[in-house]
Amino acid sequence: MKRQSSLLLLLAVISLTGCTSRYDLVLRNNQTITAKSKPKEDGHGNYVYTDIEGKKTTIPASRVRSIEPRLFWANSETNKGFKFIPAN
């Protein structure tokens, strides 16, 4: 029974790994922009992405410090009342 539960949990984690569709662009001034699509370089020193409103947007790569997948539990506004508790 314990093995079956562990296998089910592992399967759930693996299946959720590819479900990230939003990305956080952390800028050099520590501002965070959430993108609906994965930002891609356009070959001219810019990142092109779709913003939350669905508009295609461009930002200079020199302004971007990092691009990180947004975790589904990371947004406290969306997940009010829910708390991530790691398993022991």
Region 84-88: mean pLDDT is 51
Contact 20, 69 (CB under 8 A): yes
Alpha carbon distance 73, 14 (integer Å) = 16
Q: Please write the tens of the pLDDT for every residue from 3-52.
A: 776 666 665 655 555 555 899 999 999 999 999 989 999 999 999 999 98
Cβ atoms of 36 and 54 within 8 Å: the answer is: yes
Provide the pLDDT for residue 31.
Answer: 94
Domains of the chain: 21-76 (2.30.30.100)
pTM score: 0.59
Can you tell me which residue has the tokens 């295609």? Answer: 56
Q: For residue 77, what are its two tokens?
A: 């506004």
State residue 79's pLDDT score. 45
Number of residues assigned to the chain = 88
Q: Which of the two residues, 62 and 15, has the higher pLDDT score?
A: 62
CA 68 to chain centre: 6
